[in-house]
Amino acid sequence: YNELDRILDELSTIIKSIRSLQQQSTEDFDQFLIQCQNKNRELTQHRTELQRARQAITEVN
């Protein structure tokens, strides 16, 4: 076990850490995208409801 082996082991550990961080970031980003899509769906539904309400008010007036 010499200096080169030690350095290679350290590099291997660092690479594993980086890959883990990349995976975690991807999962966090995917989760964020899902939340945005859900909110968009919710707001789109509310917009349709508001348009119907406006139409009903216009018809009453």
Query: Over the stretch 3-27, which tens digit does the pLDDT of each residue have?
Result: 888 899 999 999 998 888 888 888 8
How far apart CA 61 and CA 8 sit, in angstroms, is: 79
Percent of the residues in the chain that have a pLDDT greater than 90, as a whole number: 33
Q: Is the pTM of this model over 0.75?
A: no
SS (H, E, C) the chain: CCHHHHHHHHHHHHHHHHHHHHHHHHHHHHHHHHHHHHHHHHHHHHHHHHHHHHHHHHHHC
pLDDT for residue 36: 92
- The domain limits of the chain are 1-61
Pairs from 23-32 (Cβ < 8 Å, separation ≥ 24)? none
